[in-house]
Structure 1
Amino acid sequence: MVNIAICDDNKEIREGTEKLLLKYYIQRDLEYKTTKYESGEDLLEEVEKFDLVFLDYEFGDKGEDGLTIAKRIRDKKLDVTIIFLTSYSSIVFDAFEVSTFRFLVKPLVEEKLFAAMDDFYKTMEEDEILVIKKDGINYFIRESQISYVEADGKNCIIHYINKGDIIKCNETLASVEERISKKHFFRCHKSFLANMRYVDSFSHTDLTLQNKETIMISRHKYMPFSTAYANYIVQVAIG
C-alpha cells in the first residue's frame, strides 16, 4: 500500500486531487491511502510515514512556502517523492533544488496526473521494494527507507531510518531476509538484519547507525560482517 499526502491550502485543490487519485487507483486496482493537510507545517509533523507527497508551492498566509517545506523534508534525509502543485510552470527550476519528482500545474489535468503516477510506480519498480504483509494488507516499502529489521517472536519489526518510525509485520525475520536485497542488508545477529547503507560505525558487540540507534552483532558474525561491509563500501565508491 502506498501512503500519499495531499498538502495544499485550497480545499478545492485538496479534494480535487483526492478524487483524481481515487479514479486512478480504481482503474489500476491498486491499494493506497491519502491524508490531507492544509499547511506544510502540519505535514512535517507526520511526513515520515508517506511515500508520495503532493505539495502546494505557495501557501499564501498559511505558513512557509512549498519550496521551504520541501527543503525541510530533505533536511530530514527523507527520500519521499515530492510532486509540486503550482499555478506557475516557471517553478521547475526551483524544483530541481529539492529533487522534486514532478510538478503539476493547477487546475490539475487528469491525463497529466495519471502520467505522473504511472512514472512514480515505474521508479518504485526500479528501486528495491520489499513487500510485506500486515493484517492481510500488502505494504510496499522502499528498502532505502529501512535502517534495520528486528525479530519479534514469529513476527518482525521494520525500523525506518527516521528513528522511532516502525511497522510491525506478520512475517518472521527469516522470511523477510529471504526476499530483501543481499546487496544492502546483512544478518548481523539472530535478531537483527542491518541495512549497511546506514552503518556509521561498529565494534565486536554492536553496530551504530547514522540515526544513533545501536543494534547487536553476534561474536561469530563480526568477521563476516567486516568483510561484507568493506566490500559494500567499495561497491558504493565505484558505483
Structure 2
Amino acid sequence: MIKIAICDDSEFIRNNNQELITKYSIQKDLDCKIEQFENGESLLQKIDTFDLIFLDYQFENKGADGMEIARAIRKKNSDVTIIFITSYTGVVYETFEVGTFRFLDKPIKEDKLFKAMDDFVDSIQNDNSICIKAYGETRYIKESQITYIEGAGKYCTIHLINSNDPVDCMETLSSVEEMVESDSFFRCHKSFVVNLKYIDSFTHSDIVMQDGEMIAISRNKYKPFSEAYANYMVSK
C-alpha cells in the first residue's frame, strides 16, 4: 500500500486531487490510502506514516507556508516524496531546496498528475525498495530508510531513520534479509541485520547506532562484521 497525503487549504482542491489519484490507482491497480489535511501543522503530526505528499505552497491564513512546512518535514523524514502544488510558478526553484520530486501547477491536469504518479511508482521500484507484509497491509519501504531489522521467530521489526514507529512485519528476519539488495546490510547476530550506513561506533560485543540504539554482535560475527564495515567506509 502507498500512503498519500494531500495538504491544501482548499477543500475543493483536496477533493479534486483525491479523485484524480483514486482514478489513477484504479487504472493502474495500485493499492493507495489517501488522507487529507487543510494545513501543514496537522500533516506534521503524522508525517512518518506517508510515502508521498501533495503539498500546497501557499496557505491563506491557515498556518505556515508550504516551504516552511517542507523544511520541517525534511527534519523529521528525509526520504518522503514531496510534490508541490501551486499557482505561484515563480517559486519552482526555491522548492528544490527541500528535494522536491515534482512541481505541478494549479489546477492540476489529469495527464500531469498521472505522469507524476508514474514517475513516483518507478522511483519506488528503482530505489531498492522492499515490499513487506505488515499487519493488515502491504508496505513499500526504501532500504535507505532502514537502520536495522530485528528478528523474533516468524516475525521481525523494521526500524527506520527519523521515526519512532518501527514497522512490525509478518516476515522472518531471513526472508527480509534476502529482500534487501544494498551491500550496506550485514547480519551481525542471529536476531539482527544492521545497515552499516547508520552505525556510530562498535565494540567486540555491541554496535552503537546513530540514534543511540545498541545492537549485539555475535562472537563469531565480529571479524567478518569489522571487515565488512571497513570495506563499506572505504567505498563511501
| Deviation larger for 35-44 or 68-77 | 68-77
Partner of 1:14: 14
Q: What is the rounded CA distance, in whole Å, between the counterparts of 1:162 and 1:23 in structure 2?
A: 32
For residues 31-80 of structure 1, what are the alpha-carbon distances to aligned partners after superposition, in whole Å with 9 as ceiling and x for unaligned?
11111111111111111121111111011211111101111111235211
Q: What is the rounded CA distance, in whole Å, between the counterparts of 1:137 and 1:60 in structure 2?
A: 36
Partner of 2:155: 155
Partner of 2:166: 166
Q: Contact 2:155–2:169 (CA<8 Å) still a contact in 1? A: yes
RMSD of the alignment, in Å? Answer: 1.3
For residues 115-170 of structure 1, what are the alpha-carbon distances to aligned partners after superposition, in whole Å with 9 as ceiling and x for unaligned?
00111111112200111123464321111111111112211111111242211111
Secondary structure (helix, strand or coil) at the match of 2:78 reads coil
Partner of 1:207: 207
Q: Contact 1:8–1:39 (CA<8 Å) still a contact in 2? A: yes
Partner of 1:197: 197
Partner of 1:134: 134
Secondary structure (helix, strand or coil) at the match of 1:131 reads strand
Q: What is the rounded CA distance, in whole Å, between the counterparts of 2:147 and 2:90 in structure 1?
A: 37
For residues 161-195 of structure 1, what are the alpha-carbon distances to aligned partners after superposition, in whole Å with 9 as ceiling and x for unaligned?
12422111111101111121251211111111111
| Deviation larger for 180-189 or 130-139 | 130-139
Q: Please tell me whether residue 217 in structure 1 is matched to residue 192 in structure 2.
A: no
Q: Match for 1:96: what amino acid?
A: F
Q: What is the rounded CA distance, in whole Å, between the counterparts of 1:211 and 1:71 in structure 2?
A: 21
Partner of 1:94: 94
Partner of 2:119: 119
For residues 178-214 of structure 1, what are the alpha-carbon distances to aligned partners after superposition, in whole Å with 9 as ceiling and x for unaligned?
1212512111111111111111111122212222222
Q: Contact 1:83–1:104 (CA<8 Å) still a contact in 2? A: yes
Q: What is the rounded CA distance, in whole Å, between the counterparts of 2:163 and 2:200 in structure 1?
A: 14
Q: Contact 2:4–2:35 (CA<8 Å) still a contact in 1? A: yes
Q: What is the rounded CA distance, in whole Å, between the counterparts of 2:200 and 2:72 in structure 1?
A: 23
Q: CA, structure 1 residues 136+74, in 2 after alignment: closer, same or farther (shift >3 Å)?
A: closer
Q: Match for 1:176: what amino acid?
A: V
Q: What is the rounded CA distance, in whole Å, between the counterparts of 1:183 and 1:231 in structure 2?
A: 10
Q: Contact 2:128–2:182 (CA<8 Å) still a contact in 1? A: no
Q: Contact 1:163–1:213 (CA<8 Å) still a contact in 2? A: no
Secondary structure (helix, strand or coil) at the match of 2:36 reads strand
Q: Match for 2:161: what amino acid?
A: I
Secondary structure (helix, strand or coil) at the match of 1:162 reads coil
Q: CA, structure 1 residues 121+163, in 2 after alignment: closer, same or farther (shift >3 Å)?
A: closer
Q: What is the rounded CA distance, in whole Å, between the counterparts of 1:177 and 1:29 in structure 2?
A: 28
Q: Contact 2:131–2:138 (CA<8 Å) still a contact in 1? A: yes
Q: What is the rounded CA distance, in whole Å, between the counterparts of 2:90 and 2:108 in structure 1?
A: 16
Q: TM-score, normalised by structure 2?
A: 0.95
Q: Match for 2:128: what amino acid?
A: E
Q: Contact 1:6–1:34 (CA<8 Å) still a contact in 2? A: yes
Q: What is the rounded CA distance, in whole Å, between the counterparts of 1:35 and 1:77 in structure 2?
A: 18
Q: TM-score, normalised by structure 1?
A: 0.94
| Deviation larger for 19-28 or 130-139 | 130-139
Where do 5+ consecutive residues of structure 1 fail to align?
Answer: none
C-alpha displacement of 1:82: 0.3
Q: Contact 1:130–1:179 (CA<8 Å) still a contact in 2? A: yes
Partner of 2:50: 50
Q: What is the rounded CA distance, in whole Å, between the counterparts of 1:196 and 1:104 in structure 2?
A: 37
Taking every aligned residue pair, what percent have the same amino acid on both sides?
Answer: 54
Q: Contact 2:76–2:163 (CA<8 Å) still a contact in 1? A: no
